[in-house]
Each structure stands twice: as structure tokens, then as C-alpha cells.
Chains A and B, each alone.
Chain A
Amino acid sequence: MPGDLLQSRIVVVGASLAGLRAAERLRDEGFTGSLTIVGDEPHPPYDRPPLSKQVLFGKVPAHSTGLPMRRDPHAEWRLGVPATGLDTGRKQVLLADGESLPYDRVLIATGTRARPWPHPQEAALDGVFTLRTSDDAELLAERLNAGPRRVLVIGGGFTGSEIASACRERGIEVTLTERGPAPLVGALGGTLAKLAAAMQRNHGVDLRCGVTVSALRGDGRFTGADLSDGSRIDADVCVVAMGAVRNVEWLAESGLAAGVRGVACDAGCRAFNMYGIVTDDVFVAGDVSRFPHPLFDYQLLSLEHWRNAVEQAEVAAHNMVSPEPRRRPHLAVPTFWSSQFGLNIKSVGVPTFSDHVVIAQGSLEARRLAMVYGFRGRVTAAVTVDMAKSLEYYQNLIETAAPFPPVSGASDRPPAAEVPVPSDVPDPSGLYHGPTVALTGHLPDRRLVMMRPTG
């Protein structure tokens, strides 16, 4: 059987970071069979994080962020052709051009797309954008180059905040609206969200929290928006940054456990079918997956993280061509970063899986700090602001389920100053920006995540 696995037919659906790294890893593992990679975008795999940073600063062209290959995966690339279905009985991937690709094993890595503005006519106004693809970034960067009077950003998550930051960097006036109490609150909790709000205002963002956008105005061309508090914003560009939607529609008839939260899989990246039975030839990796993690009570995690896409893709690829005893679990601790308003924010663990936080190093005043998150007396996450070198230490505390608050030695101040405060993570249904980490399981005493459309 192992020999067969190495010479079989594999189809990877999704030609972005996870798809590419999985393909490379398959060849590393000695896979010599046929490998086809399907992508809905016409572009070869490219890196998305620069799109809301370097590209919007105007320093890098939108279509120049192609990902380097670790090695040539010797794949047949089917780019610009979306997959429209997965027939798990016949073991075929169905494509939009009518073709079907037979497989022995398939990897689902279709990722997410930007959540569109809910009113199609308003979304179609000239000047209304989302930011997810390099095509999106090219159009938005062009519009920013033209020197708009004001940009309206809807949603104060990481993407919305980075876009607002890039606009201010270029001297463009920005209004950012967030339905929740502060930017980034859904991902980082109340204390760091206050710092994020202060940084936005210090950098000249017209920040409006606790309001919703009731209508986008314009006659063909976007001219402004009405807010729920009765005020009106005049702007010529609008960026809708209301989080991501998982690309699972093509799996509707597949019989897999695919839904708005992603495709459920086990720690070995094998997809569950709709009855909760694990499949053996359908694998999942990247933003589209939800997988159990032992550090977080085996709840299913949905992560929209660059590093997770790489690590999960590599585990999936290994397991796709390995017999059962040699399979590995995907156990990496979630990590992500964001740079905005002059701050480098890095996170490890799951900050929303917390009840209290404590600042273990630095201070809010210094805008340089390490904040540790705890849940029921153990360390579950840490976030650093301009203190990236400290992060590894806290990762070790998370991995070893160290007690919270962290004991002295984990801190650069006397223990008396370490008073944990509530982590203040709100119900995501009240936010424009969903969390980029979602615990999609269930805790008896708290609803950490409510999966309701926010529109």
C-alpha cells in the first residue's frame, strides 16, 4: 500500500500558500504520481500579507508578491478554473469548465474570500472595494495613488486596521467604523483594543466605534455613507473589511462536514463526513479547515493564519502519502503577526481562549509590552507589541500549560504590580470584524464564539 500511495493520483484544490507548500511536501515525501493543482484565480501562488502593507504604501506592485517555490512540485497547474464540486463516491473533482479530475487522494485548500458588503447594488458602486486578492489590491492601490479626499474603512479587524494605517502613512484622510467597542477587540480582547484605538486616533484616524454603516451612498460612484448614529461620512473610497467567508460552497453536495465555519477534519488533516466519520482520502489544510487542538480543550479551531497554512499543509501532505502508523498530528501552536500604526503586533496561542490577562513585560504607556492571556489558571496565549523576541518564551509556557498568572521570572516587575484583569473578549456576533481565530466548539459556561452572520 505505501508504494501505491507514492504513485497514486493527487489533486490539490487551492493554489495559494497551503496548496503550494503541500505540493512541495508531497514531492519531498517521495510522491512520484500525478499531481494536479487547481486554483480559481488566474495567478500562480502569491503571498497575501504584503497586499495590505507594502502594496498599499505604493512601494510594491500588487502582482509582484509571487511566492517562491521551495522546490518545483512538478505539478499540472489548472489556474483560473474554480472547482465546482467534489464527488467522493466516484473520487472526482469537478471543474467549472466541465472537466472532472479523478483522484486517489484530494487536498482541500480553498481558503477564504473577503466577506462582501451585504447590499449588492451598494457594493457595486465605483469606489467600493474589498481586499483579499492581488487583483483587489491592484485596484485599491490605484485608487489610493489617485489621492482620494477620504477613505472609509468598514471593520476594525487586522485587515481594516492595516488598510487604515497604510492610508494615514500616505497622508490620506480615513474614517474607520467598527460595530464593536474598539478595533481588534475580537482578536485581542479589551485591554489591547484600547491601545489599538489610541494608536489609530494618534495617527489621525477618524475612528467611530459602536456604530454600523446603514447605507453606502452614490450615483454610480461612491460618495459617502450613512451611519447608525445619524451621521454621514463623505468619502470617495470605501473598503469593506468585514472578515472572511470560507470557500466551501463547492462542497455542498460532497457529503463532507463543510459549513460556514470551514471543513472539519481530525488532527491528521483528514476530513470528516457529514455524519462525523473521518474519511481516509480527503484531506484539508489552511484557512478553510477546522481542526481539534489538545491545548484548547480539543475544540475545533478555524485559523486565518499564514503559518498555520504552511504547517497544516505539510502535515496533510505527509499523511496523504503515509500509512496510518506513520501519520503525524498537526499540533502547532497558532501564531500570527500584524504591523500597523508603527507597531509590530505578534501573537501566539489563542487570545480569545482566555478569561484574564496580565501585562508581564513593558507597559501600555511605553507601547511596548508582552501581554499574557490565561484561562482557568493556565497560560493560553501571549501577544507582544514591539517585543517579538519575547514571544518564544511565552510559547513555551503555553505548550507546557504553565500556570496563570505566570510566576515571577516571567515578568520584569514585582509581582504586586501583576494584577490580572478580565480579558474582555466580546461575543463576535456584535463585531464587524470576526476573530481571525475562532474556537468553534462549545464551553459549558461561556459562548466564546457565536456563529451568526453579522450582516
Chain B
Amino acid sequence: MQIVVDLTRCQGYAQCVFLAPEVFTLHDQEALLYQPAVPEVQRERARQAAAACPVQAILLGEEVSPGAR
């Protein structure tokens, strides 16, 4: 599972940092850093973080896996 955060939308509420600290961290005052590839054990927390984001800036989903060609 992959995540991407729309950082134009992110306002640094940091709810995700509290819910999934292994995935999201705040760098200094309000710059958000995250692990784009979410480890299996963190998936549920990442889902909760995405749901809790006040500005709904977090998107979770599967990566594109191109087929045979």
C-alpha cells in the first residue's frame, strides 16, 4: 500500500502524526514528512490517519502494477 499527501492542502494539524507516528512525522514546526510505502503492520494506523485528516489531504491506495506490457 502506498500513500501520498497533498501537501498544498496539508495545514499541519498533525492528526496523522499522532495516529501513525511510524508513517508520518512533523519536521520542525509544520512540514510533514511521510513514508510513501506503508509497511503491512502500519496499514490500519495509516487508514485511521487518512480518515482523521481535517483537510483530507492523505490518499491511500495500491501502486500501479503494469500488466504484461
Contacts and interface: CB of A to CB of B under 8 A. Distances in A.
Contact of A337 (B1, B7, B33, B34): B7
A65 interface: yes
B36 A65 contact: yes
A69 B33 contact: no
B35 A60 contact: yes
Contacts of A343: 28-29, 31
A240 B12 CA distance: 31
B36 A50 contact: yes
A88 B59 CA distance: 36
B28 A77 contact: no
B64 A77 contact: yes
Interface string A27-62: 000000000000000001101011001100101110
B69 A76 contact: yes
Contacts of B2: 66-68
Interface residues of B, number: 31
Per DSSP, chain B at the interface is loop
Contacts of A60: 35-37
Contact of A68 (B7, B28, B30, B62): B62
B28 A44 contact: no
Contacts of A306: 6-8
- Most A Cβ at <10 Å: residue of B11, B12, B34, B59: B11
Contact of B69 (A44, A50, A78): A78
A20 B66 CA distance: 12
B12 A64 contact: no
A346 interface: yes
Contacts of A368: 29
B63 A66 contact: yes
A77 B67 contact: yes
Interface in B4-61: 4, 6-12, 27-31, 33-37, 59-61
Nearest to A342: B28
A68 B60 contact: yes
A322 to B, nearest CB: 25
Nearest to A305: B8
A53 B35 CA distance: 11
A342 B29 CA distance: 7
A296 interface: no
A389 interface: yes
A79 B66 contact: yes
Contacts of A336: 8
Nearest to A54: B33
Contact of B64 (A20, A54, A346, A389): A20
A76 B65 CA distance: 11
A60 B12 CA distance: 21
A47 B8 contact: no
Nearest to A68: B61
B8 A346 contact: yes
A70 interface: yes
Contacts of B59: 68, 70
Given A64-B35, A67-B63, A307-B9, 15 more contacts: A20-B64, A44-B64, A59-B35, A66-B63, A72-B62, A77-B69, A78-B69, A305-B8, A336-B8, A339-B27, A339-B28, A342-B29, A344-B28, A344-B30, A386-B28
14 contacts: A54-B33, A64-B37, A68-B1, A68-B4, A68-B62, A69-B61, A69-B64, A77-B67, A306-B7, A337-B8, A339-B31, A344-B31, A386-B28, A388-B12
Which 8 pairs from chain A and chain B are nearest by CB? A68-B61, A339-B31, A77-B66, A66-B63, A44-B64, A342-B28, A64-B37, A344-B31
